[in-house]
Amino acid sequence: MFYKTQLKDHIRVPPHLFGLKLEDAMLERIKKKYEGYISKELGIVIDVSRLDNIGEGIIIPGDGASYYETEFEVITFKPEMQEVVLGRIKDIADFGAFISIGPIEGMIHISQTMNDFVSFNKEKTLAGKESRKVLKIGDKCRARIIATSYKDPTNPKLGLTMRQTGLGKIEWIEEKYEQKKTAKKTEKKSKKKSRK
């Protein structure tokens, strides 16, 4: 899920930026420090969206830079358990598929790709034995986050599933929807005929 988060930090502005407007120098330093920053509490910082307040600057002896207590807003992406996400299959291996969901990648284990016996083939696709469904690189999919791990804070891991109703390759979801729609129309017609 994407969030707007208010942060407060002491930002160091080195002397080579003193020629810029203070707001521009601050934005440059905040972006350098926070863009791409990852933590369990914040998630992944996507961008600095707004500079709200710059306190009075101080210079620490022995360091030519100035420091400002600053308040600013960042846009973050924090994956939430059970959240449904939309992404594109980036790679396929014999154990599952890797899906790109914006600023992060997740992994869908082969057993979680579809309700079928799934096999991997040389063309880097996953195929269902009975359903004949095929998952390939570039497919747009809807998945649910079922596991998150921040063991390595610079590279969080996401586990996803596509085995629930309304999840899977977008074409599969649309086909199922059309089948249900057709079945309802057929049911309505048969009810009308039985009334006559």
What pLDDT was estimated at residue 196?
58
What pLDDT was estimated at residue 186?
80
Q: Is residue 89 part of a domain?
A: yes
CATH number at residue 153: 2.40.50.140
The model's pLDDT over 133-149, given as tens digits with 9 standing for 90+, comes to: 999 999 999 999 999 98
The model's pLDDT over 52-110, given as tens digits with 9 standing for 90+, comes to: 999 999 988 888 899 999 999 999 999 999 999 999 999 999 999 999 998 889 999 99
**Structural domain boundaries, residue 10:** 2-77
What pLDDT was estimated at residue 195?
66
* Same structural domain, 21 and 52: yes
* Same structural domain, 155 and 94: yes
What pLDDT was estimated at residue 103?
87
Q: Is residue 141 part of a domain?
A: yes
Of the residues 30, 53, 77, which one is the last residue of a structural domain? 77
The model's pLDDT over 152-189, given as tens digits with 9 standing for 90+, comes to: 877 889 999 999 889 999 998 888 888 888 888 887 77
* Same structural domain, 72 and 93: no
Q: Is residue 192 part of a domain?
A: no
CATH number at residue 14: 3.30.1490.120
The model's pLDDT over 97-121, given as tens digits with 9 standing for 90+, comes to: 999 998 889 999 999 999 999 999 8
Residues, the chain, total? 196
Sign, CA dihedral 165-167-171-172, equals negative
For residue 25, which phi and psi values (nearest 5 degrees)? -65, -40
How many domains in the chain? Answer: 2
* Same structural domain, 44 and 14: yes
HSE (CB half, 13 Å, CA atoms) of 112?
A: 20
Which residue spans within the chain are E strands per DSSP?
2-13, 38-39, 43-54, 58-59, 66-77, 84-93, 96-101, 104-109, 118-121, 125-128, 134-136, 140-149, 157-161, 168-169
Q: Is residue 157 part of a domain?
A: yes
- CA triplet 92, 96, 101: central angle to 5 degrees? 70
* Same structural domain, 111 and 145: yes
